[in-house]
Amino acid sequence: MLVFGCAEKKIETAKAQIIPMPVNQEFRDGHFVLSSETEINFEEEFNVAGNFLKAFLEPTLKKKKGVENKINFVKDTSILNPEGYRIEVNPIHIKISATTAQGAFYAVQTLRQLLPAELETGKLKRKDIAIAATKISDQPQFSYRGMHLDVARHMFSVKFIKKYIDALAMLKMNTFHWHLTDDQGWRIEIKQYPKLQEVAAFRDETLIGHYSDQPHRFDGKRYGGYYTQEEIKDIVAYAQERFVTIIPEIEMPGHAQAAIAAYPELGCASTLRHSSGQEASATDEPVEVAKEWGVFEEIYCPNKKTFAFLEGVLDEVLELFPSKYIHIGGDEAPKTRWENCAHCQALIKKEGLKDEHELQSYFITKMEKYLNSKGRQIIGWDEILEGGLAPNATVMSWRGTSGAVEAAKAGHNVVMTPTSHCYFDYYQSENEDEPLAIGGFLPLEKVYGFNPIPEELTTEESTYVLGAQGNIWTEYIPTEDQLEYMAFPRMLAMSEVVWSKPENKNHEDFVLRLEQFHKRLDVLNVNYANHLYEIDGNVVSQNDTTYYKLETLTKGKTIRYTLDGSEPDLNSKIYQSQIPISQSTTIKAAVFKDKKQLGKTFTQNINFHKAVGAKITINKTPHKAYSGSGAKGLINGISGSDSRYGDKEWLGFWGEDIEVTIYFEKPIIINSIETRFYDGNGQWIYAPKHIAMRVIFDNDEIIANKFLPESSENPNLKQVFCEQPILSNRPVKTIKLLVPNYGTIPEGKQGAGNKAWTFIDEIIVN
Ligand code: ACM
Ligand code: ZN
């Protein structure tokens, strides 16, 4: 509890309100009064933390003498983790112990969260503040605690980048992965290569709407810019003062179209594309800085000019960024140019390489050698495993976790950032009025539930997992407000994933602390998303009866609902126990507190079709990141979202043929069977080309082969439908759906060469 102005005004605060959750916090009787007499004492070694605290408390502290009221920083080498700290608050003093400046800094970030949020504004003047006596000892679970930001697709101001770094520091995150170059823009000033500034930093126009909207339309506005070296130095110094390491990412060999637009000789020559035999110095058509999203075929040619260019670029990068790691990208590099380039083919022969994947490995290894010779280490996306991993490389695992498993088993360090749990450019709510996002569905709770250690690793192997990071790709994030909306509060959940021990994590408790933390984010002027007052609904079946269960994340609130399609209000029924369902219904519900509706109204249509309540099996287990409500979810009366394939209703399978079987206890006459598949090719999701439906009667069966139509109203969905007379009016015992996987993703598409995902929705039987 915090008390202002000598107990005349009290503010209740939840006791455990720190994010990320400390390892250990005990509460004691009494409190320390932070007042105008409080002294802050620290040795030079703890300058950063001490000065941060001083500045934070400035308006409150006015020096007076002779009163025993101190905040003391103490070096304590018995604290073994360099990022660890202890705080003791008692009526006489606050003692902050740490073994390093960074540990002391994290102690101050914790102390900050024990103080009223209003202090953040610097406007809370000359009040005494009581801090409940407590003892905290704390240290991180992982040494790599990061957030990524793509500034190539959209760019953000220096002021904003500093605000982002401030948030990382407050949450004890220590790494900012700055994605500085991509097809749509080169954002770091490189003095040796002025065309990077003149050409590569600008695109002529930008795609409007989503990539899957057809036809593509453009806004006609030139877009771009770059960070000058002076700005970058300023940002790096700012981050250092907050113990945030910036890892710059210079993408290679792919995502290089902007650089190739500026310097065409960095791309593959077109000798094999034309059979004239004459060596050209550039690609066929002039390449421009990309105006739309996706994966592009223009990649660096592994020739002398390219290596000289990249080494020159890296020389300047190394001057600006003191980080141990340099991120060299490595993801999504289509090999078509290399396959058709005389130089590349000759190089493959000369080096005795097997194929273009080994050529990529040759490329990355060469760059690794260069960076190692300068005392740095490389980190790259998990594609750098293909064709052989460079000897000292750290792998950033984004396509699921298998890259991490492979790398860790081979003794390489890994950073976890799988799309399923770490891509904050995905939708975070099922509300249809969310701002346009790339796709997917990653609600706060799923981020919070992430365990960076893949199950497949032994304890020994798991020591190679350095930590995890949230990624923010900005194709669909043009403004700083929207970026904050996507980043918060998922960044808070990620901070706890990487800092706190799994046994100290508790989602319900996190939500309570987050509700408190809203105040701090408000005064810090952060445009966070608030989905805490949304309702979570689930079908449950018990003793052959189907029920619908409503829940809300935060306690002490009332849920009211209707079943007739009307909007819930203060007169609607209060939800007390799960609602029995025996026919098709629309449930609408909302959370109320103090006679006010909080959050948005939840709507769920339940289609009580003939398979609801039947038995179902699938011959394969859905991918663990996309297991929805399990097999049962395919016949629970609820269809998945039209735009969020990662919700509870869609089931995802990676590269597998699947067979779904629905059994009816009592054979029934049916008139139709229908289902649908997601077809989000940008996210590697492909509807099957065809499926087979087997309908089994008493002693025979029919098989209907169904090709999936090329396009439908929603380009992301493909429907299949089977109806009478083929079902022949006889009682059906079993329905089987045979769903072959689409196969390998074709060349020219995102993720080419990888297995496609299959996502299947409700199987509706009427
Ligand atoms: C990535 O998302 N292409 C690393
Ligand atoms: Zn080439």
Residue with tokens 């945030």: 244
Q: Where are the beta strands (DSSP E) in 78-235?
A: 85-89, 93-98, 129-138, 144-150, 175-179, 181-182, 185-186, 202-203, 207-208, 217-218, 223-224
Single-letter amino acid, residue 287 = V
Please tell me the distance between residue 398's alpha carbon and the centre of ligand 1 in angstroms: 7
Of all protein residues, the one whose alpha carbon is nearest to atom 3 of ligand 1 is: 331
CA separation, residue 499 to residues 27, 169, 502, 612 (Å): 21, 12, 9, 43
Counting Cα atoms < 13 Å in the Cβ hemisphere of 323 gives: 25
- Could you tell which of 153, 328, 381 is best to mutate to test the pocket of ligand 1, judged by most ligand atoms within 8 Å of the CB? 381
Indicate which residue of 83, 150, 182, 656 is catalytic: 182
476 and 622 in a single domain? The answer is no
The one catalytic residue in 148, 179, 210, 255 is 255
Decide if pLDDT at 116 tops 70. yes
More confident residue, 600 or 225: 225
Is residue 313 over pLDDT 70?
Answer: yes
Specify the CATH number for the domain of residue 559. Answer: 2.60.40
Query: Which residue reads 């015992």 in tokens?
Result: 733
Q: Check whether residue 151 and residue 71 sit in a common domain.
A: no
Token pair in block for residue 562: 């209707």
Q: Are residues 172 and 60 both part of a single domain?
A: no
Q: Which CATH number covers residue 130?
A: 3.30.379.10
Chain segment 231-266, per-residue pLDDT in tens: 999 999 999 999 999 999 999 999 999 999 999 999
Between the CA of 95 and the centroid of ligand 2 the distance, in Å, is 62
Single out the residue in 472, 495, 523 at which a domain terminates. Answer: 523
φ/ψ of 247, rounded to 5, equals -100, 115
pLDDT tens, 130-151?
899 999 999 999 999 999 999 9
Q: Residue 135 is encoded by which pair of tokens?
A: 């003892």
The enclosing domain of 304 has a CATH number of 3.20.20.80
User: 739 and 688 in one domain?
Assistant: yes
Q: Is pTM beyond 0.85 here? A: yes
In a shared domain, residues 688 and 705: yes
Judge if 628 and 704 occupy the same domain.
yes
- Counting from 1 in the atom list of ligand 1, the atom nearest the Cα of 381 is 4
pLDDT at 556: 81
Q: What is the per-residue pLDDT for 79?
A: 97
Residue among 634, 635, 631, 628 at smallest CA distance from 617 = 631
Last-in-domain residue among 562, 584, 606 = 606
Give the range of the structural domain holding residue 443, as residue numbers without chain letter. Answer: 144-523
Per-residue pLDDT, averaged over 63-86, amounts to 86
Residues lining ligand 1, CB < 6 A? Answer: 331-332, 381, 398
Selected residue with higher pLDDT from 75 and 1: 75
Task: For residue 150, report the distance from its CA to the centre of ligand 1, in Å.
Answer: 10
pLDDT at 467 over 60: yes
530 falls within a domain: no
- 33 and 159 co-located in one domain: no
Residue at 113 is within a domain? yes
473 and 353 in a common domain: yes
Of the listed 332, 382, 534, 656, which one is catalytic?
A: 332
CATH number at residue 657: 2.60.120.1190
Query: What is the arithmetic mean of pLDDT over 609-617?
Result: 93
Domain-terminating residue out of 523, 555, 586:
523
- Residue 749 shares a structural domain with residue 689: yes
| Residue 3 clears pLDDT 50, i.e. is over it | no
Mark whether 568 and 689 lie in a shared domain: no
Q: For a substitution probing ligand 1, which of 255, 398, 683, 754 has the most ligand atoms within 8 Å of its CB?
A: 398
User: Distance, CA 336 to ligand 2 centroid (Å)?
Assistant: 10
Per the annotation, the verdict on 536 as an active-site residue is no
For residue 272, pLDDT beyond 60: no
Cα Rg of the chain, angstroms? 29
Q: Are residues 416 and 509 in the same domain?
A: yes
Q: Is 182 a catalytic residue?
A: yes
Q: Is residue 316 in some structural domain?
A: yes
Residue 155 lies in a domain: yes
Q: Is the pLDDT score of 621 beyond 80?
A: yes
Tally the domains of the chain: 4
Same-domain status, 503 and 557: no
| Nearest listed ligand to the Cα of residue 425 | 1
User: Mean pLDDT, to the nearest integer, of 484-488?
Assistant: 98
